[in-house]
Amino acid sequence: MTQQAFGKTADGTPATLYTMTNKNGMQVAITNYGGTVVSIKVPDRKGTIADVTHGYDDAAGYETGKAYFGGTIGRYGNRIAHGTFSIDGVQYALPKNDGENTLHGGLMGFNKVFWTVKDISGNGPVALQLDYVSKDGEEGFPGKLTVRVIFTLTDSDELKINYAATTDKKTVLNLTNHTYFNLGGSGTILEEELMLAADKFTPVDKGLIPTGVLQPVAGTPFDFRKPMVIGSRIGDDEEQLKFGRGYDHNWVLNSKGSAKPSLVATVFDTKSGRKMEVWTTEPGIQFYTGNFLDGTIKGKGGTPYVLRSALCLETQHFPDSPNHPSFPTTELLPGAKFSSETIYKFSTK
Ligand code: GLA
């Protein structure tokens, strides 16, 4: 584990970049600003290392950035319709930062705050523990939420993310990580192959809020049960793809939310040979194809991030669950401990 300065936020607070390296030379860098995954460096089938993630060169980039690159997302990942929900008859109002809706925790989500970081590697694999306490009422959410996220880089080339949280009042939460992946290291992700172990997805309205229906993927461009080239159907004349400007939907994982992580997705880049598996205990996954990227964001080393130059696989509970009692619950009660685990495992073939 190495540490280096990672610039400052506007108020002068210095950020730190922590780089974990495993025995194979795979590297994952994380900053305390936003609990953000800044880079993941893995070899291709010839052994050439590339950074397979989008991001910025310093904390200031993340502070002003609006794309959530690599961030730890909370208190509520994805959207809450009209910025409101109720618990036990009490209605809560959240800042609306995505049209009429609240996205990724509001204006100052967990990706925009400093986390307390501790190296907990010991004798095992390299690991970083990140802690944050979200105040009662922060961004409109009830209850003081104590959150711990542990990032572990194993010698099997896995980035393992363990989330834990407790609250002092009944609240809602949906924690995820928003890394943008491009296994080729550059270009677009349209030729990469994706598998999603999901028979259903949650179709949305124009504002990308789930209608509440769990729709079978069979016979639609949302069927990734067998590996499919991402770009093969993305331009189909289909209402859901139009609403999302591409893929920006939640898949209902067949594993349903399992006690142990289940294999829910694979991405394979035929050109470089890089492969990524996603394992999770969560019941859903947001597959997003970088539809809002348009080349105006200049990221690491000044690289313009163009349309569909990366994809996200955000393991999660379903969007807007607090307003959909039929969805798996996102409520957390005092005295209970929330925990979940997601693994991004890299290999080549
Ligand atoms: C999620 C959302 C998208 C978009 C990205 C970040 O994937 O569903 O609509 O907001 O995050 O740009």
pTM of this prediction?
A: 0.98
Residue 314 a catalytic site member: yes
The one catalytic residue among 314, 317, 324, 341: 314
Please report which residue ranges of the chain form alpha helices under DSSP H.
59-64, 239-244
Give the distance (Å) from ligand 1 centre to CA of residue 104: 8
Q: Give the whole-angstrom CA distance, residue 159 versus residue 112.
A: 22
Pocket flag, ligand 1, residue 248 (CB < 6 Å) = yes
Give, for ligand 1, the residue of 285, 292, 293, 297 to mutate: max count of ligand atoms closer than 8 Å to Cβ. Answer: 292
Is position 100 annotated as part of the catalytic site?
A: no
Place of tokens 């999302």: 244
Q: Catalytic residue, from 54, 104, 178, 317: name it.
A: 178
Q: 123 C-alpha to center of ligand 1: Å?
A: 38
What is the DSSP annotation of 128-174?
Answer: EEEEEEEPTTGGG--S-EEEEEEEEE-TTSEEEEEEEEEESS-EE-B
Give the pLDDT of the chain (349 residues) as one tens digit per residue: 999 999 999 999 999 999 999 999 999 999 999 999 999 999 999 999 999 999 999 999 999 999 999 999 999 999 999 999 999 999 999 999 999 999 999 999 999 999 999 999 989 999 999 999 999 999 999 999 999 999 999 999 999 999 999 999 999 999 999 999 999 999 999 999 999 999 999 999 999 999 999 999 999 999 999 999 999 999 999 999 999 999 999 999 999 999 999 999 999 999 999 999 999 999 999 999 999 999 999 999 999 999 999 999 999 999 999 999 999 999 999 999 999 999 999 999 9
Q: How far is the CA of 288 from the centre of ligand 1 (A)?
A: 7
Closest ligand 1 atom, residue 67 Cα: 12
Cα–Cα distances (Å) from 149 to 110, 205, 344, in that order, read 11, 32, 15
